[in-house]
């Protein structure tokens, strides 16, 4: 690998590692994935931290990579089956708190993908907060990422 390629890879990794910030809201460790290359939907996961000193709420998300973007979660239907559903009213983010959006829990649902979520690509998602406003997040696609027990993403 040439020094130029190595430098480019190092710069890209550094940019991905830098969290997005807006008015005290920090977005860390974002990634997106789809079940397979022909999937019509995908999801994005991340950690949201509210360092603003005021409670806030994630009320919406949007992206050009999907026809519809919703905030989703999983609920148990009573017979041991988990069902995905839209979160009504958004996700409350108290001052000083961190909220983990992860597989099997709260996440950004991308429905009607306009193209495949290809490994190592990046997508742009706008998160809309009640107080902080819009936060643009560049999210790497990592279809190979496996959830680790007890860690973000699992």
Q: What is the 3-class SS of the chain, one letter each residue? A: CCHHHHHHHHHHHHHHHCCEEECCEEEEEEEEEECCCCCCEEEEEEEEEECCCCCEEEEEEECCCEEEEEEEEEEECCCCCEEEEECCCCEEECCCCEEEECCCCCEEEEEEECCCCCCCCEEEEEEEECCCEEEEEEEEECCCCCCCCCCCCC
Q: What is the pLDDT along the chain (154 residues), one digit of tens a residue?
A: 544 544 444 444 444 444 554 568 999 999 999 988 889 999 999 999 999 999 999 999 999 999 999 999 988 787 878 788 899 999 999 999 999 999 989 999 999 999 999 999 999 999 999 999 999 999 999 999 876 544 444 4
Q: So where are the chain's domains?
A: 3-140
Query: 3-140: what fold?
Result: Immunoglobulin-like (2.60.40)
């Amino acid at each position: 690998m040439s020094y130029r390629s190595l430098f480019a890879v190092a710069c890209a990794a550094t940019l991905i590692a830098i969290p997005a910030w807006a008015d005290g809201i920090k977005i860390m460790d974002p990634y997106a994935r789809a079940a397979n290359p022909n999937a019509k939907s995908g999801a994005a996961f991340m950690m949201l931290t509210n360092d603003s000193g005021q409670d806030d709420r994630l009320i919406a998300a949007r992206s050009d990579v999907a026809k519809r973007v919703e905030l989703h979660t999983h609920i148990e239907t009573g017979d041991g089956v988990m069902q995905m559903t839209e979160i009504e009213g958004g996700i409350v983010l108290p001052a000083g708190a961190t909220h983990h959006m992860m597989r099997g829990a709260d996440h950004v649902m991308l429905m009607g993908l306009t193209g495949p979520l290809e490994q190592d690509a990046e997508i742009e998602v706008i998160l809309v907060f009640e107080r902080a406003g819009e936060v643009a997040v560049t999210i790497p696609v990592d279809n190979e990422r496996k959830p680790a027990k007890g860690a973000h993403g699992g």
